[in-house]
């Protein structure tokens, strides 16, 4: 077992709240919550999660991360907007206890279920996804995200019909638009700030956009 001071990590971890802009109204639709472990001595957040699991603290650790982020959102009055949160579930051993704790946390910060948008990270395969979805209230929207390690699975998207899909390329956008079975709203992630025109993006079928240069 590796001796790591997780209390210190929780104190040092910070959160970026990146505005998610509605391309039609030009208004802030919500905030993408990005965890930043750079002050903790870890470059890769996955290393932190793995160590938490090895120390038997995974569920407690990710719960406390979520609690800290919601506390900040509440203090900044962001909880009236959509909060996009990546929930890591790689090493959860007791999902009943964990998700019941999450429900209590949501209630404590007076966050409407429909204002929470979860990206579930760390599960693979149809069976495991279905298992975890059973723990979510039907009012909580889900997001499926494209990244360089995990391309979108269109079969799963068609079957689960998530409210949002996050993409980072126009090639993916074309594939989605060619599939008439996919009705999800499109969020476009980019690190480019020049030549962005929200009305033009809206005409292309992009509903929301956020700008972030780090990998989330």
Phi-psi region of 201 (alpha: psi -120 to 50; beta: other; left: phi over 0): alpha
Residue spans of the chain under pLDDT 50: 126, 216
pLDDT at 10: 95
CATH code, residues 9-211 = 3.20.20.450
Name the pTM for this structure.
Answer: 0.88
pLDDT at 195: 61
| Residue extents of the structural domains in the chain | 9-211
Q: CA nearest 126: which of 168, 159, 102, 171?
A: 159
Instruction: Summarize pLDDT for 169-179 with one digit per residue, the tens.
Output: 889 999 999 99
pLDDT at 216: 44
Measure the CA–CA gap between 118 and 132, rounded to whole angstroms.
Answer: 12
Instruction: Summarize pLDDT for 121-165 with one digit per residue, the tens.
Output: 877 654 667 777 787 777 788 898 887 777 888 888 888 889 999
Which residue intervals of the chain are DSSP H helices?
A: 6-12, 45-54, 58-75, 95-108, 126-133, 154-160, 170-178, 198-203
pLDDT at 146: 85
Q: How far is CA 73 from the centre of its chain?
A: 15
């Amino acid at each position: 077992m590796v001796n790591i001071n997780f209390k210190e990590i929780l104190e040092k971890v910070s959160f970026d709240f990146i505005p998610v802009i509605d391309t039609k109204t030009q208004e802030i639709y919500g905030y993408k919550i990005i965890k930043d472990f750079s002050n903790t001595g870890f470059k890769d957040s996955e290393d932190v999660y793995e160590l938490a699991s090895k120390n038997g603290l995974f569920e407690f650790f990710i719960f406390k991360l979520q609690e800290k982020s919601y506390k900040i959102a509440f203090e900044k009055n962001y909880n009236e907007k959509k909060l996009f949160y990546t929930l890591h579930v790689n090493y959860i051993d007791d999902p009943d206890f964990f998700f019941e704790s999450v429900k209590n946390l949501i209630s404590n910060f007076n966050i409407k279920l429909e204002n929470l948008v979860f990206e579930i990270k760390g599960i693979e395969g149809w069976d495991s996804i279905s298992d975890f979805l059973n723990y979510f209230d039907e009012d909580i929207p889900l997001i499926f995200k494209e990244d360089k390690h995990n391309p979108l699975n269109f079969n799963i998207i068609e079957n689960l019909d998530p409210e949002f899909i996050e993409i980072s390329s126009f090639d993916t956008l074309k594939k989605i638009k060619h599939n008439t079975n996919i009705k999800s709203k499109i969020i476009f992630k980019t690190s480019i700030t020049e030549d962005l025109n929200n009305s033009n993006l809206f005409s292309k079928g992009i509903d929301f956009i956020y700008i972030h240069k780090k990998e989330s």
